[in-house]
Amino acid sequence: MAAKDLRINELIRVREVRLIDEAGEQLGVVPTNQALAQAKEKGLDLVEVSPNANPPVCKLIDYGKYKFETEKKNRESKKKQKQVKLKEIRMQPKIESHDLAFKTKHILEFLEEGNKVKVTIRFRGRELAHTEIGRDVLLKVLENLGEETHSVDRAPTMEGRFMYMLLSPKSKK
């Protein structure tokens, strides 16, 4: 729950709350007005940290400091996340072996960066009658990549005039 969704002080409208003091010790179930009085006496805020509990759990804390700490934690967790991008490599069924090797090298680089790769083959005109040639090209790409670099998310699939497959990098665990 985000810090801005929490109810504090007079916004808490229940009869009694389970109170936790600033040291983290439980003070038991007390009437809300008594908990508010304790908060004012200590110069702190009464913050509802678990509104769905029965009775709701409230803490005696400095709300500004609490809000700052939770935002800091959120920023840290966002830093640790890695965005996975989807890269696309397009080819034609009549691709030359050198071009295929070159594109395979690019696919390998994308996978090493941790990105997913969509390998697409575009069929034009009469090429649509021979989709097996496109499937062979995609299988040759898989063969050139080797097994340890990737996992196949979606096997070669036709969609309109395109045949594609999705590859994702193998996790480094």
For the chain (173 residues), the mean pLDDT of every run of 10, in chain order, is: 69 87 87 88 87 87 87 87 86 93 92 91 91 92 85 90 91 60
Asked if 38 contacts 75 with a C-beta cutoff of 8 angstroms, the reply is no
Structure tokens at 97: 């072996």
Q: Count CB neighbours of 111 within 10 A.
A: 20
Please name the residue ranges forming H helices in the chain.
32-42, 63-80, 97-112, 131-145
pLDDT of residue 117: 93
What residue ranges define each of the domains in the chain, with the CATH number in brackets? 3-79 (3.10.20.80), 86-169 (3.30.110.10)
pLDDT of residue 104: 93
Question: Is the pTM higher than 0.85?
Answer: no
Please identify which residue in the block is written with the tokens 């696919």. 107
Of 9, 115, 13, 101, whose CA–CA distance to 64 is shortest?
9
pLDDT of residue 172: 60
**In this structure, which long-range contacts are made by residues 132-137, counting pairs with CB atoms below 8 Å and at least 24 apart in sequence?**
133/93, 133/94, 134/93, 134/163, 135/163, 137/91, 137/93, 137/95, 137/100
Question: Which helix (DSSP H) or strand (DSSP E) does residue 89 occupy?
Answer: strand 86-91
pLDDT of residue 53: 85
pLDDT of residue 3: 54
